[in-house]
Amino acid sequence: MAARYATDTFTITIGGASHLVVVGAHRDSAHGAVTGNPGAFTTTPLAVPQIHPRLAGYLAAYPDAQV
């Protein structure tokens, strides 16, 4: 299983519930958001200028946070 990073913000239905994925979010390759929308993820972390600095700080502090 490899880490995947979201390239855009989107919502996806997983197990009947809506799941929000924000740009730059870290998910495991087996996560439902990755398997359901693999084109929206990359194995390369996004550069900080591509995302809001506050979001970058949050993702650095809580890399495995589930929203």
The whole model's pTM is what? 0.64
Domain carrying residue 23:
3-61
For the chain, count helices (H), then strands (E): 2, 5
Is the residue at 30 inside a domain?
yes
Is the residue at 15 inside a domain?
yes
Is the residue at 45 inside a domain?
yes
CA nearest neighbour of 4 among 48, 37, 41: 41
CA nearest neighbour of 32 among 20, 43, 24, 44: 20
- What is the count of structural domains for the chain? 1
Is the residue at 66 inside a domain?
no
pLDDT in tens, 10-61: 999 999 999 999 888 889 889 999 999 999 999 888 765 567 778 878 878 8
The H-or-E segment that residue 26 falls in is strand 26-28
CA nearest neighbour of 12 among 45, 43, 34: 34
Query: What is the per-residue pLDDT for 45?
Result: 81
